[in-house]
Structure 1
Amino acid sequence: MNSSAAPSEAHPRFAEALRELGLDVEVRRFPEGTHTAAEAAAAIGCELSEIAKSLVFEADGLPVLVLVDGASRVDVELVRAELGAEKVRRAGADLVRETTGYAIGGVPPFGHRTRTRVLADRGLLEHEVVWAAAGTPHTVFPLAPEALITHAGGTVVDVREKSA
């Protein structure tokens, strides 16, 4: 398995975002793809919580990106309260692609087609490095969570479901 690659392995839009931000990160490509956080963690050899999921929700009709660790689920009610929205739900595949320019399973935390509000769950900060999609279900990159949240323009909040 070829696990090291140049940023050219990333989705072209995301590779351009990396250049614009002056970020030199290692983009890893996995031939079999990593469509879920669990598949990505297994391929990388890291903890599930070290995967940064980029999830798009629809809040009163507007897209919002939520960054959360791979071991956690987003509490939609906490997102709703954070945004002061009436109604929040997971965005459909069309809205995800329209908003970000990427397909579900490959959405990176930044480098999107449009500027959207970004909420980043505080749990990401529990790690030295997190791994996020690099624009495709086959590519990931590592970054310190603080830098990832900053580049995404995220606000640190508590939006993950509390464990029982």
Structure 2
Amino acid sequence: MAIERVREYLKKYKIEDRIQEFDVSSATVELAAKALGCNPERIAKTLSFQVDGQAILIVAAGDAKVDNAKYKAQFSAKAKMLTADEVEEKIGHKVGGVCPFGVNEGVTIYLDESLKRFETVFPACGSSNSAIELTIQELEDYSGYTSWIDVCKGWE
């Protein structure tokens, strides 16, 4: 189960006990916000794309949407999201629980600028009913991200 993989991954940072599990689904931004009792924009959604045959993850604020022009300028390619089957195969988590923790080898992780306006955010933890509250610094420290990028709109 992917949540166990994430729990194991977060053990090295001694924060696995901060994972929250819910009796309800947190598979979408809206459901996660409801389960957590927070504003939807503070949900750190993790989006799965393919660039030059490689899987990438972009962690963005819950109210942000990918801007195709910014994405193309960043990656020199059109935004192509992975299918649900591809996500599980290439990332290692199912849709609804995708997060930047405990992912398959070779997956590049980016953090979108839309997250920087918050003190803390809530990424998922590998299942459709889990999350963890992290400061932006903790998200940087624990996600294994490559760089900050600016590929989203609608949140400014």
Both structures adopt the same fold (TM-score exceeding 0.5): yes
**Unaligned stretches of 5+ in structure 2?**
none
Q: Distance in 2 between matches of 1:88 and 1:41?
A: 26
Q: Partner amino acid for 2:85?
A: D
Is 1:79 aligned with 2:101?
no
Question: What residue is the counterpart of 1:51 in the other structure?
Answer: 43
Name the count of aligned residue pairs: 155
TM-score, structure 1 normalization? 0.85
Select the structure with the greater relative contact order (CA < 8 A; seq sep ≥ 6). 2
How do residues 20-31 of structure 1 correspond to structure 2 at under 5 angstroms? 20-31=12-23
Is 1:122 aligned with 2:113?
yes
* SS of residue matched to 1:90: coil
Q: Distance in 2 between matches of 1:42 and 1:163?
A: 19
What is the Cα deviation at residue 163 of structure 1? 6.1
Percent identical pairs in the alignment equals 30
Q: Distance in 2 between matches of 1:41 and 1:145?
A: 18
What is the Cα deviation at residue 61 of structure 1? 2.1
Q: Partner amino acid for 1:133?
A: A
| Aligned partners of 1:75 and 1:161 also within 8 Å | yes
Is 1:64 aligned with 2:56?
yes
Compared with structure 1, are the counterparts of its residues 71 and 57 closer, same or farther at alpha carbon in structure 2 (3 Å cutoff)? Answer: same
Q: Distance in 2 between matches of 1:78 and 1:43?
A: 32
| Aligned partners of 2:20 and 2:130 also within 8 Å | yes
Q: Distance in 1 between matches of 2:155 and 2:138?
A: 27
What is the Cα deviation at residue 72 of structure 1? 1.0
Is 1:141 aligned with 2:132?
yes
Deviations 1:52-106 (CA, angstroms, capped at 9, x unpaired): 001101113221100100111122332232123x333111112211122110010
Q: Partner amino acid for 1:125?
A: K
TM-score, structure 2 normalization? 0.89
* SS of residue matched to 2:50: strand
Q: Partner amino acid for 1:87?
A: K
Q: Distance in 2 between matches of 1:32 and 1:25?
A: 19
Q: Distance in 2 between matches of 1:92 and 1:77?
A: 21
**Unaligned stretches of 5+ in structure 1?**
1-9
Deviating beyond 6 angstroms after TM superposition, the runs of 4 or more aligned structure 1 residues are none
How do residues 33-52 of structure 1 correspond to structure 2 at under 5 angstroms? 33-52=25-44
Deviations 1:84-141 (CA, angstroms, capped at 9, x unpaired): 3x33311111221112211001012221122322221112111111011111001111
